[in-house]
Each structure stands twice: as structure tokens, then as C-alpha cells.
A and B are shown apart, each in its own frame.
Chain A
Amino acid sequence: MPLLEVTDLRTSFHTRTGVTRAVDGVSFSLERGETLGIVGESGSGKSVTCYSILGLIPQPPGRIEGGSAVFAGTDLLRCRPEEARALRGKRIAMIFQDPMTSLNPYLRIGDQLIEPLLIHERLPREEARRRGLAMLEAVGINDAARRLDLYPHEFSGGMRQRVMIAMALITKPELLIADEPTTALDVTVQAQILELIRRMQRELGMAVIFITHDLGVVSGLCDRVQVMYAGRIVETADTRTLFHAPRHPYTRALQRSIPALQAKGATLYTIPGLPPDLSRPVPGCAFAPRCEHATDACRAERPALQALAPGHLHACPRAHASEL
């Protein structure tokens, strides 16, 4: 049985200007210990997918329209709030993009770090503090005993992200959801944090969902990648296949846009047009208006994810019919 099984998740936002279908029928599963990369541009629904699973969507304006997200036998979308709370922060943890705004500036690092232990494991303060200290050392913070009593503003960006990771991992979760945790950091610090996530994953054997827009980060970290566009999954495959034999035109276009892979001085490849406005119904394939291979059939009917090989699914009927 997979650790997490998401089926037909649909999340929309109801605003005065209309209904935005941010996540529109997303299904995937995650095995224990697996690392799944979710790649997509801003607005593709990659973060909203994970926020929905964790119950972090503000309702209203957000609304989970349907689907299920079963984590180790519990449907996170339908269970009682206290059941979800018992899982969140203990067996499922999350780290966010901006470590400055996700730490409480008024609380000492130590107090924030051990909060999950006090709440979920009801440990005595002394014991929790000992575990907090060990965790801070494990994520590579020197002089951890003194730093437990510092405030977030006294840490650099990279150190704050380490604190966030320590806080997320302190209860030894089975699933870690990382939402662009290195986007705000320098490349050198990004390399440190990615190395840390790899090491902690090995040590704890946890599964990781890594949300990013950077295909480079995904290539060294993830076992499997799923590409999202306009609230839907357009392709999913193991990382090697996705990089070496992508089938969906959007995945290919995304890969072609990476500057590192293009000849210096040449005009960079760009995807024509803009992502669709999700507050209007998108009848066919959401990528069709920007796709050089689109036919009338693509614009008329919404393509389903189909398996090309075990584990390699994509939603392009033309690629399936070997027309591309």
C-alpha cells in the first residue's frame, strides 16, 4: 500500500471575479522512502496540491471540491480535524520557501523547535530541549546550545532554513513536503540544504515531496518527477526517463527553456503565449493554445493521463499515437 494516495483532487478558489480551478483532477501516489518532484511554473497548482493535502487552504475563498488524499489509511480530506492535526506536524511535516516568514520572530529558536515534541509526544521540556539540541546539531548548526536561545533575526537565510528543517524533522515524520525550500537561497547554500535533505532522508527513511520550478534541482534529488500545468498533471515518470525521453510537449518545452542547455549567445527558446486564465473553463488540453503540435481534437476534448510504460504517464494523445 502506498504511503500517500491522492485521487482526483480538485481545489478551487471562489472570488468575486469567478471560480479559479487551481487544482483540477490530480491523482498520484507516493511510496515509503520515495522522493517525488513536482515541477511547474507559478500558478500551475503544485503548491495548492500540497496545501490541500495538509488542510492549509484558507476556506473560504478556497474549497476542496472533491477527491481524496489517503495517508497511511486516513483520508486527510474527510477525517475529523483532530485526526488531521495528530498527523500534521508529527507524521507529515512541511517546509516552506521563505524561512523568514515561516518562523515566529517573537519566539526563541529553541521554543519553536521543540513545540512539536511538546504537543505531539507530550515530552517534558528538559527532554524536548535535549532532542532539540541534538536535532540542531544534526542539521549542521555549530554552537547549537547557545543558538537555541537566539531569535530568528539573528540567523542568516541558510541557517533559518536549517532551523526549519530541524523543526520539521524533529518528530521523525514519514513524509516531508518541501515547497521550494531553496528558491530564496544562494546556489552555494542551496547545495548545502539539498545535501542536508538527502542525508536526513537516508537517515530517517522518509518520503519527500519536493516542489520546485527548477528542473536542475529535481535531477539530482528525486526518484520520480511529475510535471504540472494549469492545475493538472501532464506527465509523470522516473527522473531519468523524464529528462532523457520526455513525451509531453510541455515537458519538452520546459526542458528546452533551461539556459544551461542552450548554445551561448543564441536566442533562448521560449514557450509562446501565456498559461491559461484558470477562472475560465479550459475545455481541451490546457497547453493546446501554446503547443505547436495542437490539433482541433486537442482543443475540443480534455486528454486523460495514459500510461506509455509502467510508471510513465502523460496526457498528450498525439504523443501517444506516436504522431510526435
Chain B
Amino acid sequence: MSAPILELRDVKTHFPLQRGLIFRRDAGTVKAVDGVSLTIQRGEVLGLVGESGCGKSTLARTILQLLPTTAGTVFLGGRNLTAAGAEEVRAARRELQMIFQDPYASLNPRMTVFDTLAEPLRVHGVCPAEEIPARVHRLMERVGLAPRFLRKYPHEFSGGQRQRIAIARALALEPRIVVADEPVSALDVSIQAQILNLLASLCREMDLTLIFIAHDLSVVKHISDRVAVMYLGRIVELGTATEVIERPQHPYTKALVSAIPVPDPDVERTRQRLVLPGDPPSPINPPSGCAFHPRCAHAVERCREAVPPLVPAGPAREAACIRLGEL
């Protein structure tokens, strides 16, 4: 196997919490990402799933170095981004772009589509100024927008069209990796399918590596080669998309899969649902040992004692549960 395009080694992103307006004092740490190791191959689509607050968006921002890393290293094609200077990180962002969830908030309402798409080209000086219009045209066509929209402002577009603009902006610098943070969650089902098809075809044609963050497992299964399931700052299960979602091994993944409503009334009425009790615990004060144990139906005394490591759980498959063999 060739060298991975992106490698995370024991990455931690913590946020210090402070109390008090005048006399600031430390009130603990939010361990949003707490020891994530992951390798991603060129051209791969990795799905990242988990509930709100599990750290998936923080992990995305850490990969892009939009947030400082507390510990661990992020390697992009062999270059250590966590040790790189500001200038080097900025250069690396040409290869590493992001698409955000809310296409209503991620586009500047006072910039036309043309300005939005031309800005990254100007900032990074990738081509002479006279070539910019032609490149912007090509980008528009690539994401399925008519060039006559170039002088329009974001408010004149629907949610799906705005997401296409955001995708075009991410592609402007011809990045090698795109991180998409819930890119279809805010869209209607029929529009979701259009955007997913667009992302899938871009990956194929541009040899893109995609990190696809979502909470909708059926969407993730469809687009991803591999899936990583996160719970409270750690990866608890990792494997090929079909394996993880059709044959989950970690009790948390099982619950997550079971929570998806099935669009078939006969199945839905007869199937056994595993309804997880309670909310995810707070990352300020995580439970001891396996962070999932307070909600897990299979938890035993040993689960409270130590954080379970990711261990092989079949071919190309890892899970972090000490009772894997027994369940």
C-alpha cells in the first residue's frame, strides 16, 4: 500500500474552561478530541459519524489546523502540519479544503458568486488575473451551475444551489483532500441525493480524498469506503462502510444503527429497537474507563476501569470494546 495521504497520530484537541469574569480560574478541560489515530489513503472516502458533541467537527477543524492541536500529530502527505509554521499551514490549505453544513451561513452574503469563487484563486495566486474568469466558469460548470448565475448573490439561490457554490469554492484550489462537515444535513431528501451524487462524481473524477462527516448513517454508508464511529472524542469502531453499518460490533454502533428509522412499515413495526437511554455524557467530566459504559446494556465492572483501546475485530476492522468476543 502506498503512503497514506493523511495520517493522524494520537491527536488530542482540548479546550480549557474558565470561570469568572475578573478572577479567571480554570474550571476543567473539554476533551473534544481525545486520542484519535487514523490513516487515510489517497482517493478514499472516509465517513465520520457520531452524535452531536462527540467531537467529529472538532476533529475536522483540527485536521485543517483551524484549531490548535493539544497533542499528537497530523501528517499531510508526510509533512507534519502540527509542527509547521503559519506560512506552511497556509500553503497546506491549498491541498486541504472544507465544506460546511449550513450553506446559508458559510457564504458571504455581500459577495457575488464570482467573487466568492475568485477569492481563493487570488489569495493563493494560483493563476494570472486574466485567467481567473475562465477558471471560475469551469468551476461553475463542474458543480452543475449555469455561468449566468455568476453575478448573483447567495440569497438568490436555494439551499442546494448554495451548497454547490460552497463545493465549487472548496474545489477552486484543486485540493487533494476535502473535509465535508454535514454537507447535506440541511437539505431536503431529493436535493441531498443531488449533492451526494455530485460529491461522489467529483471524488472519482478529480481523484479527491473525502472526509465526510454526518449523523445520518444511511447517507454515510452510501458514499463512504470506510466509516469511523466516534463517541466522546474517541473512535470506537472503524471498518468498511458496509461491514460497520450492516454488522456493527461495538454496542454503541449497534445502538446507533438501530436508531435509524427504516422506511418500510412492516420492518419498522416488528423490528427490535435498541433505544439508548439518556444523552451523551459531558466531555468535561467523562465517565471513567469506557466512556460509553453508563448507557451500555452490556457494561460490566471491568468497563469502568480502563479506556478500551481499538483492537482488531475482523479483517480491516477495529473496535474499542473489551467484551467484543463475548457479545
Contacts and interface: CB of A to CB of B under 8 A. Distances in A.
A254 B261 CA distance: 16
A188 B190 contact: no
B202 interface: no
A217 B218 CA distance: 14
B266 interface: yes
Nearest to A222: B265
B178 to A, nearest CB: 19
A186 B222 contact: no
Contacts of A51: none
A19 interface: no
A216 B51 CA distance: 19
A266 B275 CA distance: 31
A259 B273 contact: no
Interface stretch (B5-13, B77-85, B191-199, B301-309): B191-199
A312 B260 CA distance: 27
Contact of B189 (A191, A192, A258, A267): A258
Nearest to A41: B188
A159 B268 CA distance: 25
Contacts of B265: 219-220, 239-240, 243
Given A192-B275, A257-B189, A262-B222, A220 B196 contact: no
A269 interface: yes
Contacts of B258: 191
Interface in A248-289: 253-255, 257-262, 264-265, 267-271, 274
A55 interface: no
A253 B190 contact: yes
Contacts, number: 117
Interface in A177-204: 186-192, 194-195
- Which of B189, B260, B262, B264 counts the most chain A CB atoms within 10 A? B189
A264 B242 contact: yes
Given A187-B217, A259-B218, A219 B188 contact: no
A226 to B, nearest CB: 15
A307 to B, nearest CB: 21
A219 B190 contact: no
Given A259-B222, A269-B193, A270-B197, A220 B51 contact: no
A257 B193 contact: yes
A42 interface: yes
Interface residues of A, number: 43
A214 B216 CA distance: 12
B205 interface: no
A157 interface: yes
Contact of A264 (B158, B189, B216, B221): B221
Interface in B250-283: 255-256, 258-269, 273, 275-277, 279
B222 A188 contact: no
A276 to B, nearest CB: 13
A63 interface: no
Interface in A189-247: 189-192, 194-195, 213-217, 219-220, 239-240, 243-244
Contacts of B217: 187
Given A187-B259, A191-B276, A220 B268 contact: yes
A25 interface: no
A158 interface: yes
A216 B261 contact: yes
Interface string B72-114: 0000000000000000000000000000000000000000000
A320 B275 CA distance: 42
A187 to B, nearest CB: 4
Given A192-B275, A264-B242, A259 B219 contact: yes
B182 to A, nearest CB: 12
A260 B268 CA distance: 14
Given A159-B279, A274-B158, A219 B260 contact: no
Given A192-B277, A268-B196, 6 more contacts: A186-B215, A188-B275, A191-B258, A243-B265, A255-B263, A257-B189
Contacts of A295: none
A156 interface: yes
Nearest to A196: B275
A152 B88 CA distance: 44
14 contacts: A156-B279, A157-B52, A187-B260, A188-B259, A190-B261, A215-B263, A219-B262, A220-B269, A240-B265, A257-B192, A260-B263, A268-B196, A269-B193, A270-B197
Interface string A36-58: 00000110000000000000000
B276 A188 contact: yes
Nearest to B217: A187
A261 B279 contact: no
A268 B222 contact: yes
- Which of A159, A217, A259 counts the most chain B CB atoms within 10 A? A259
Contacts of B276: 188, 191-192
A47 to B, nearest CB: 13
Contacts of B262: 216, 219-220, 260
